[in-house]
Amino acid sequence: MENFEPEIVAFCCHYCAYTAADMAGSKRISYPSNVKIIRVPCTGKVDALHLMKALEKGADGVYVAGCLEGDCHFKNGNIRAKARVERVQKFLEELGWETERVTMLNMSAGMGEVFAKTAKEFTEKIKTLGPNPVKLRKTKAV
């Protein structure tokens, strides 16, 4: 488990977190390459099914990064996304999975440092949790 490098899927809002990631790049602030970004027009576009499918296909952690609360470009897409993340967390809890594998983050477009910091923190947290149980079983089977 020492060399465990998690695969993390980040659904990032075009108007904030995605731009923040870009900002981090422009400022030469590095963040873990484990984080694979999927740009969405608004986190309100992210469905609970997208989060579940990501886990089902082996992602070790999934997060949704939207605008600061009250600042959504589409008024309340980030609030809806937060509710969906909580729904998936409830599913995971019922299944006996670690709910921390899915989380919601908020930041503005100018927060390049915050994007990098949260990406690092989330990656570290997932490293402590270990691989997605789905992958673990597959590896054992091999």
Where along the sequence are the contacts to another protein (CB under 8 A)? 47-49, 52-53, 55-56, 91, 94-97, 133-134, 137-138, 140-141
- Quick one: 56 or 124, whose CB is closer to another protein? 56
Per the listing, tokens 């909580």 go with 86
3-state secondary structure of 113: helix
**Shortest CB 25 distance to another protein, Å:** 33
Beginning with the edge strand found earlier in the chain, give each strand of the sheet holding 35-40 in spatial order: 35-40, 8-13, 61-66, 102-106
- Quick one: 37 or 134, whose CB is closer to another protein? 134
- Quick one: 43 or 132, whose CB is closer to another protein? 132
- Quick one: 28 or 142, whose CB is closer to another protein? 142
**Shortest CB 66 distance to another protein, Å:** 19
Q: Tell me if 46 sits within 8 A of 40, measured CB to CB.
A: yes
Which two tokens mark 19?
């731009």
**Shortest CB 11 distance to another protein, Å:** 16
- Interatomic CA distance for residues 59 and 81, integer angstroms: 19
DSSP state of 6: -
**Shortest CB 100 distance to another protein, Å:** 15
Nearest alpha carbon to residue 64 among 4, 16, 112: 16
- Quick one: 29 or 48, whose CB is closer to another protein? 48
**Shortest CB 90 distance to another protein, Å:** 9
